[in-house]
Amino acid sequence: MECEHLLNASTIALCIFIFIQQVQHISATAANTKTKAPAVLIFGDSNVDAGNNNAIFTLVKSDHPPYGQNFPHHLATGRFSNGRNPGDMIASLLGIKDYVPAYLGTNLTEYDLLTGVSFASGGAGYDPLTSELVQVLSMDDQIKMFKEYKQKIKAIVGEKIAEEIISKSLYVVVSGATDLANTYFTTPFRRNYDLSSYNHLLVQFASKFYQDLYNLGARRISVTGMPPIGSLPSQRTNAGGIERNTVPLYNQASVMYNADLLKETQRLNKTLPGVNIVFQDLYTPILDMAQRPSAYGFEVTDRGCCGTGIFEITLTCNHYTSEPCKDPSKFLFWDTFHLTEKGYIILISELVARYGLNVG
């Protein structure tokens, strides 16, 4: 319950009353599918990690300044941006809550659990090797945590209401970018695949993950495609030459993957009874922001706000060696891989305008 100090019987009674009211509200929401989802459950990579990596042994962390400098109280929560991330924004648009907490490493209340958490892990990908290389939570690990989560909410509200919450919640899956950018293009470990074959492998991994969610009760699943990998500052630095140009091959890889993933989601929608998997195109809006920055109020799109913006990310984005830019709102990217809060706000607005929120 959300009462830290129980002073007397009246306080105890008030806490119980508040908790019952919260559960009744969630139950009513779960019973009415035409209003909104009762919870938002987030899976994937650093774009939607709310701090799970804080609780595991890995170098992929953002629990230090200047990350979070525009988050309430300037807290570096483990979100890989200067403020809120897409999971927070989606939950807020649904009217559920303003921030989706990490499943690990936080003192979650019953209300936190019943309204949704993030299982995402920075550095994760659909390819199990991607997570293994940087010692983060794999997509299979996230499924295991989700199974544990289901048992926790059953203990809170009972099996019937828990099943309603699980079936009517919105599931958001953001993954894949680290597979191409880090595992395929940066390391030699998957070079036994040509690009087309590796994309096919990724889609197979992604499809299995969606089916795992479905078999555990998920029905409303929003999945994102690949962003324009070759336009990310990190990849411009790695493969864009001295001038750090956009990398056409990398962007072509994103287009190929997106076409394959879209076809697979369409197939799953036809074969899995009652499911609604919505593929959301990240490539087009992010590329447009990168190519037409002034249309969105940006001035810089070829580097990040943190430090030089050329190589800083995770531990190298810090107050000791890489002070951030003075005005993040002028930058599309916060570090060399993730958008600024403003960038995410515009991106989510574009996606909602095109696809809705997948709760009807």
Q: Which of 46, 118, 169, 231 is catalytic?
A: 46
Active site annotation includes 73: no
Reported in sequence order, the residue ranges of the chain that DSSP labels E, i.e. its strands, are 40-44, 170-174, 220-224, 276-280, 300-304, 331-333
Q: Which of 27, 175, 231, 338 is catalytic?
A: 338
Q: Which of 269, 159, 256, 176 is nearest to 221 (CA)?
A: 269
| Residues 193/179, Cβ–Cβ less than 8 Å | no
Interacting residues of 207 by C-beta distance below 8 A, sequence separation 6+: 264, 268
- Using CA atoms, how far apart are residues 212 and 287, in angstroms rounded to an integer? 31
Active site annotation includes 338: yes
- Backbone torsions φ then ψ of 174, nearest 5 degrees: -125, 105
Which residues in 299-329 are b (16+ Cβ under 10 Å) and which e?
ebbbbbbbbebebbbbeebbeeebebbeebb
Interacting residues of 48 by C-beta distance below 8 A, sequence separation 6+: 42, 85, 86, 87, 118, 120, 172, 174
- State yes or no: cis peptide before 324, omega within 30 of 0: no
- Using CA atoms, how far apart are residues 15 and 247, in angstroms rounded to an integer? 56
Active site residues: 46, 335, 338
